[in-house]
A and B are shown apart, each in its own frame.
Chain A
Amino acid sequence: MTVRARVIPCLDVANGRVVKGVNFVDLADAGDPVEQARAYDAAGADELCFLDITASHEGRGTILDVVRRTAAVCFMPLTVGGGVRTADDARALLLAGADKVAVNSAAVSRPEVVTDIAERFGSQCCVASIDARRSGGGWEVFTHGGRRATGIDAVAHALRLADLGAGELLVTSMDRDGTRSGYDLDLVRTIADRTDVPVVASGGVGGLADLVAGVIEGHASAVLAASIFHYGEASVADAHAALAAAGVPVRSH
C-alpha cells in the first residue's frame, strides 16, 4: 500500500480549554484538551489538530502548556494553529511538542512568514491554512473567521504559499464551515490538482460520505472534521472504514 489518507479531528481551544470538543462520556474533564487528545489517540486518529482561538494576548501562552502536556502522553502527530505570527511563535510550539504549525492570517499580511518557518524548521512542519469563500467564478481569501474579505484569490494564494515553502495546505471553505453540507470539493480539488504538497480538506463535514468525497472527489490527502467526531456521531474507526470501503488506503485498526 501507499501513504494512507489521514483522518484529522480538530479541537478548538480557548484559554487552554476545549470550546468545541468530543462528548466522550468517560472523560474526567471534557474541557481539558489533553484528555480529549488521549481519547483521540486511543481511537486511532491519524493526526490531531489544535486550533487556538484564544482572543486575548494574555491567554496566548496557555496553548504552549496544552501542547506540552499533550505531547507528554500522546504519541501521535499534532498540528497547532491559531495566532502564529512569526517563526519564533512556530519554534515555541515545535519545541513544546507540536509536529506541524499552521499559519493563517500572518501569511495573508506577510506570505514570507512561511519561508521563514520553512527555512528554519523545514517545510514538513509548515502548514499554510487558507480560509476561502466563493467569489465570482473563483474563491477569495477571508480572515477573522470568515468575516473579513481580503480581495486575494484563494487558489493563487494557496499555490504561492506552497512555492514559498509550506509543506501542507489546510483549505477551509468558510461558506461550508458549520453548515454540515460537505466540503467545497471544487475548491479543494482545484488546489490539490495544482500543487505537489498534500492538501487537507476542511469545513462543512456532515457525515462520513463527506470525508470520502474529500479524498475521492476533492483529491485531498487528509480530511479534517470537528463536529461529527465531537458529538459522537462517528468514530475515527467509522471514518477509516468508510474510506476503506471506497477503496482509499487507510490505517488498519
Chain B
Amino acid sequence: MTLALIDYGAGNLHSVANALAAAGCDDLAITADPRAVARADRIVLPGVGAFGACAAALCAIPGMIEAMEARVLKQGAPFLGVCVGMQLMAEAGDERGTHAGLGWIPGRVSHLTPTPAAKVPHMGWNDVVPTISHPLIVPGEAYFLHSYAFAGAHVLATTDHAGPVTAAIGRDNMLGVQFHPEKSQSYGLALLRRFLAWKP
C-alpha cells in the first residue's frame, strides 16, 4: 500500500514523513512526481507558511493538481491535508492577496482576528472538538500553529480561540486538519494510524 507524500517544498515535509513512518506506514514515497501520485493508494499534502506561496508551489509542478484530482476526486483514494495542506482544499485563501485553492471544499481561508485573550498566531495545544461523527476525528488535544483559518462547509471539528475555529474538514474520502498531527505526540500519531487504516 503506497502512500504518496507530496513534496512541493513544504517546510514540514520530513516531520510528516517521520510521523507517518512512526504510525506504521512502511511504503512511503516522498514525491513531486504526478505519476507516483496517480497510482498511490493514499495521498498526504503537508504545508506550512503562506497560502499563496504554497498554492503557487503546488501549481508549479506540471500535472500535479490534475493527478491529485484524478486520484482523490474521481477514484476515491484517501487524502489527508495538514495545516496549509488542509487550507489548500478550500476555494480560496486571503493570505497576502487572494489566491485560489483546490476548491474541493466550499469555503475560504482568512486571517484570525486577535483579541487580548487570543493572540495570533494561534500557537499551542488546544482542543479538537468534533462537530459531527467521523471515524478519524476524536476529541483530544492537538498542537496548532497558524494565523489563518478555514470557514465554510464540511467542518468536522472545531477548536476555541476567542470563538470557534475550524480544526478539521472533510467529506467522502478526504480529510484536512488545521493542527499538526506530526507534532501532536500520541494524539497525532493515533490520528495518522487511523488515516492509514481508513477505508472510506
| Chain A residues close to B by CB (< 8 Å) | 1-6, 41, 44, 46-47, 68, 71-73, 75-77, 91, 94-97, 99-100, 119-125, 167-168, 195-198, 221-222, 251-252
Contact = CB atoms under 8 A, between A and B. Distances in A.
Contacts of B13: 95
Interface stretch (B14-22, B33-41, B58-66, B73-81): B14-22
A167 B18 contact: no
Contact of B183 (A99, A197, A198): A99
29 contacts: A1-B126, A1-B127, A2-B126, A3-B118, A3-B125, A3-B126, A3-B144, A3-B159, A4-B124, A4-B125, A44-B185, A46-B125, A75-B18, A76-B143, A97-B15, A99-B48, A99-B145, A121-B48, A122-B147, A123-B121, A124-B147, A125-B48, A125-B145, A167-B147, A168-B121, A195-B119, A196-B120, A197-B120, A221-B123
Contacts of A198: 119, 121, 123-124
A75 B189 contact: yes
From B122, B127, B145, residue with most partner A Cβ within 10 Å: B145
A166 B12 CA distance: 19
Interface of B: 11-15, 18-19, 22, 48-50, 53, 96, 114, 117-127, 141, 143-147, 159-162, 180, 182-185, 188-189
B85 to A, nearest CB: 13
The 4 closest A-B pairs by CB, nearest first: A122-B49, A196-B114, A94-B11, A124-B121
Contact of A197 (B15, B22, B121, B144): B121
Main SS of the interface on chain B?
mixed
B125 A97 contact: no
Contacts of B123: 3, 6, 124, 167-168, 198, 221
A46 B50 contact: no
B124 A6 contact: yes
Nearest to B161: A3
Contacts of B144: 3
B117 A2 contact: yes
B48 A123 contact: no
Nearest to B14: A97
Given A95-B11, A121-B49, A125-B11, A221 B125 contact: no
B141 A71 contact: no
Given A75-B182, A125-B11, A3 B124 contact: yes
A1 B48 contact: no
A221 B50 CA distance: 23
Contacts of A44: 185
A119 B159 CA distance: 26
